[in-house]
Structure 1
Amino acid sequence: MTVSDGYTFPLNENVGRTPVRFKNRYGIEVAADLYVPKSAEGRLPTLAISGPFGAVKEQSSGLYANEFARRGYVTLAFDPSFTGESGGDNRDVASPDIYTEDYSAAVDFLGLQKIVDRERIGLQAICGLSGMALTAAAADSRIKAVATCSMYDMSRSISRGYRDSYTPQQRHEVVDYLSRQRWIDAETGTFARASHEVPFDADGNLTVTNRTLPETLPKDANPIVSSFFDYYRTERGFHPRSINSTTAWTATTPTAFFAFPMMSNIAMLAPRRALLVAGANAHSRYYSEDVQATAPGNIELVIVPEADHVDLYDRTELIPFDRLDEFFTKNLAI
């Protein structure tokens, strides 16, 4: 339920929240909220948190940050570059590289805080920011542990379609559409909006819409669309700065995700560990299962019974916070 201060969840009475800003190595200013237990003493274990893809810090990532802070962590929920209240001249464009960098920039910032133990910093990611979190950890040894919930591999999803359903011809069609859209944008001096996952209709024709989600839900809506709509477009999770709540990404956003896969160096995560959480009924469950299968020795998988993908955004009775807390307590230990 949307609360009056612009957040989609109430702040715990034992937690303080402070807006902060820091720059990534590209000079883009990242907006975030720092959550600190009011009873905090000494240097604490810390988590940087972001996601889902197209969401803002007032939604799911803030909810996670609030809960972990209640449990004794310092937490930082941030808007990725170009989105929400973060900087970047071109709005609502995503980058697998820059989004990955945003996590390391968050670690830069956290490591300068007197209340933070530099040797106990982890990442908690949700949905489409999960691949970036794992990619960041593989290249940044300061990140001691990573957990994801409802993971999406956005490079795989965007460049290959749901369950890798794009045919080779369709992949070429999407690339051609994106390439020609660049000329259109260059001629007009603006960036068109379009769905970041380019769909094909029943006849195999490429179809483009200028919204991530419809303004109203059709009676025959796909169940996956319905679940996202129930979060982003209703009082449950709507936020006016959320791309998914109000608009769509820039039409050429998929280009970088065709060019740059994520988690290519996932083996570099070891001996550090990751925990991937997925709903038993989630359409995205296969992303977590496939990543876990690449390194079962140091990547754990937890399947939440009766949960779908979106349930793990905000259904606190289903999100396994006790299990996540146990994972970080163990793996952020000195």
Structure 2
Amino acid sequence: MPLLTDNYTFPLAADVQRTPVRYVTRYGLEIAADLYCAADFDQNTVHQAVVIGPPHGGVKEQGAGVYAQEMARRGFVALAFDPSYNGESSGEPRHITSPELFAEDFSAGIDFLGTLPYVDRNQLGAIGLCGSGGFALSAARVDPRIKAVATAAMYDISGAIRNGWQNSASEEDRKSMLSEAAAQRWRDIDSGTPALTPTFPASIPSDGGPDPITSEFWEYYVADRGHHPRSIGGFTVTSAMSHINFGELRNLNDIARRPILLITGDQAHSRYFSDDVYAQASEPKELVVVEGARHIDLYDRTDLIPFDKLESFFRSGLLA
């Protein structure tokens, strides 16, 4: 589906209302978000609510909005946001990626939802797509107001940067990355502009891309399927320092007694992240493997994404 004229990659359902909102994180950054509710929802009663983060490098007009709309159709109040320094949210320089700030974005969303008179402060949850899955889990570790957390096609971005793909990086690799990031800081200072990692190309090359994983991302972000002008793929090179310092997901037992739902695809290249978290996390936890789903299919394929499962998970999990 081509990019729609209102900059959303999916049509707004007739039975859903969407409202642009703004709120501030504890770091003073203004977050741009969309609030989704059923068109006929009753503001005189309190509702369960979820905050939804986009894939790493994505924006609220893409997959996060797809999830928010579907959850709103099921009676939830749903908030899809642009991460700090990205999309329409504030923060300079643009396109920073930070595990601490991106986890805080979830807690700031919880703050905002809790100000709405028709939202139950005791029944708030989080959904993270791709890299936001790891950030949602990090937020839930330290923010017990998040009563249940779900991920879809989860990436542990910090773990992948620190340890390499499928934990292939050596200590020498990490030292080399830090040396390069330090050298880049000098280059950024001297030039006055922070350099970015490679951004998405203007079009997909005829050979499809340099490797299967990159080709899959290009299929979503570069082609009409999910292209959005504010979703460029690149981040500041020096952001790697924060992720290496933060390290892989840990202390998942801090979420104990609050339910975790991990959704992945049987064809998803990212499946090992969900498998690892499932092995480390305490009960209650559940791993759902969607047959026939690749990583990007869990961004927008409403025929594959198990929304009925997400509904039942949060209906019961937020009551616990």
Aligning the two structures, in what range does the TM-score lie when normalised by the shorter sequence? over 0.9
Paired amino acid for 2:22: R
Question: Structure 2 matches for 1:96-245, cutoff 5 A?
Answer: 96-194=99-197, 210-212=198-200, 215-217=203-205, 219=207, 221=209, 222-244=211-233
SS of the residue corresponding to residue 295 of structure 2 reads coil
Give 1:9's aligned residue: 10
TM-score using structure 1 length? 0.92
| 1:88 lines up with 2:91 in the alignment | yes
Q: Distance in 1 between matches of 2:200 and 2:159?
A: 18
CA distance in 1, matches of 2:62, 2:199: 19
Residue 216 of structure 1 deviates from its aligned partner by: 2.9
Matching residue of 1:202: none
Residue 77 of structure 1 and its aligned partner are, at CA, apart by 0.2
* SS of equivalent residue, structure 2 residue 238: coil
The answer on 1:268 being equivalent to 2:271 is no
Give unpaired runs (5+ residues) of structure 2: none
Give the aligned residue type for 1:153.
D
CA RMSD of aligned residues (A): 1.3
Does residue 327 (structure 1) correspond to residue 313 (structure 2)? The answer is: yes
Aligned partner (choices 283, 290, 296) of residue 304 of structure 1: 290
Give the whole-Å Cα distance in 2 for the aligned partners of 1:232 and 1:184. 29
- Distance in 1, matches of 2:10 and 2:318, equals 27
CA distance in 2, matches of 1:169, 1:234: 37
| In structure 2, distance between residues paired with 1:249 and 1:213 | 14
Q: Is the 1:217–1:226 contact (alpha carbons within 8 Å) kept by the matching residues of 2?
A: no
Q: CA deviation at 1:296?
A: 4.9
Q: Report the 3-state secondary structure (helix = DSSP H, G, I; strand = E; otherwise coil) of the residue aligned with 2:236.
A: coil
CA contact (8 A) 1:147 1:275 kept: yes
* AA matched with 1:150: A
CA deviation vs aligned residue, 1:169-211 (integer Å, no higher than 9, x gap): 22221111111100110111110111xxxxxxxxxxxxxxx32
Offset, 1:160:
1.6
Letter in 2 for 1:308: R
Q: 2-side partners of 1:302 and 1:323: how far apart?
A: 9
| Unmatched tracts of structure 1, length 5 or more | 195-209
2: CA distance, partners of 1:59 / 1:281:
21
TM-score (norm 2): 0.96
Q: How does 1:243-258 map to 2 (within 5 A)?
A: 243-244=232-233, 248-258=234-244
The Cα offsets for residues 130-152 of structure 1, whole Å up to 9 and x where unpaired, read as: 11101111111111100000000
Aligned-pair distance for 1:265?
Answer: 2.2
The number of aligned residues is 316
Instruction: Give identity over the alignment, percent.
Output: 46
C-alpha contact (below 8 Å) 1:132/1:262 kept by paired residues:
no
